[in-house]
Amino acid sequence: MAERPRIGFAGLGIMGRPMARNLLRAGYPLTVWNRSPGPAQELAAAGAAVAGSPAQLAASADVVITMLRDTAAVEQVVLGDEGLLAGFQPGEIYVDMSSISPLATRRLAERLAARGVVMLDAPVSGGEVGAREGSLAIMVGGPAEALARVRPVLEVLGSRIVHLGEVGAGQVAKACNQLIVAVTIGAAAEALLLASAAGVDPARVREALLGGFAQSRVLDLHGQRMLAHQFAPGFRAALQLKDLAIASELGAATGVPLALTETARRLYGELVAGSGADLDHSGLLTLLERQAGRTLN
């Protein structure tokens, strides 16, 4: 691989677009592909080449990065007609930064290994702001030597890169992260609405609790969103539900009972089935408010 590897980037959504821009800005030769052409044209205007298919993208690059919606989208882009698999050269590195099933990740890695391609899973935390600022937390699974080779690239995208183990380990950590975030959001929503319904100012309760064992970044940031009733995402409830399904699938596969995760999954399912899919995940409060027949403030 050259000092500055050629990068192929597929998936120019809310997260992928600013990430690809940061790579361009850092001076990496960049080719992009996106299912709908608009975002690719936008990156082309900023200096990227545009590939006609994932296969062409893989053929033009030393390192391919994907940032896609879900497991099905990644499998389609890698394995589908004109997929990455059809264009990869032996020795290429494939970095999937989407949040998808760890089990599907391991299966993909096996398929790719048979073609001489090393796969890293590298899901992120930090949202759109982190993507714009290049300050994402990146959870990596896969061979250490492959991570060493792409680390300079990842350092453009994130400020905290943690290697968690073999391929899939990044997705496992991400699933753990997402289940904790969802359950903690639910706990904060229950506590703040309970305080309010019992006649106590939820803002004062949040403030008091941040000084003790109930402290969390969720109670701080998402709790503030709940008090302000500001549920523009942020991180969409529909994606939170998708990530809870991944944790749930992993629990079923490993025999670990996840009662709180399953409860949170049911609540997010109700929120999304209502009109809450596009709310920030802290908008889970609105489901509780509807059920309780009262609002927080």
Q: How far apart are CA 13 and CA 18, in angstroms?
A: 9
Q: How far apart are CA 15 and CA 128, in angstroms?
A: 6
Q: Return all residues near 23 (Cβ < 8 A) that are at least 6 apart.
A: 7, 9, 30, 153, 156, 157
Residue 290 CB, nearest distance to its own copies (Å)? 10
User: 162 forms bridges with which residues in the sheet?
Assistant: 139
**Contact between residue 95 and residue 122 where contact means Cβ atoms under 8 Å apart:** yes
Q: Is 242 a catalytic residue?
A: no
Taking alpha carbons only, the member of 98, 143, 139, 100 closest to residue 118 is 143
Residue 287 CB, nearest distance to its own copies (Å)? 9
86 vs 194, beta carbon nearer its own copies: 194
62 vs 243, beta carbon nearer its own copies: 243
Taking alpha carbons only, the member of 124, 151, 145 closest to residue 11 is 124
Residue 278 CB, nearest distance to its own copies (Å)? 19
User: Please, what is the Cα angle at 80 between 75 and 83, to 5 degrees?
Assistant: 95
SS3 120: strand
Residue 79 CB, nearest distance to its own copies (Å)? 23
117 vs 205, beta carbon nearer its own copies: 205
Taking alpha carbons only, the member of 11, 110, 100, 7 closest to residue 60 is 7
11 vs 141, beta carbon nearer its own copies: 141
Q: How far apart are CA 90 and CA 117, in angstroms?
A: 5
**Contact between residue 273 and residue 227 where contact means Cβ atoms under 8 Å apart:** no
29 vs 186, beta carbon nearer its own copies: 186
109 vs 219, beta carbon nearer its own copies: 219
Q: Which DSSP letter does residue 70 get? A: S
Residue 193 CB, nearest distance to its own copies (Å)? 5
Residue 202 CB, nearest distance to its own copies (Å)? 9
Q: How far apart are CA 212 and CA 276, in angstroms?
A: 31
Q: How far apart are CA 118 and CA 142, in angstroms?
A: 8
* Catalytic entry in 21, 174, 222, 281: 174
Which residues does the annotation mark as catalytic? 174
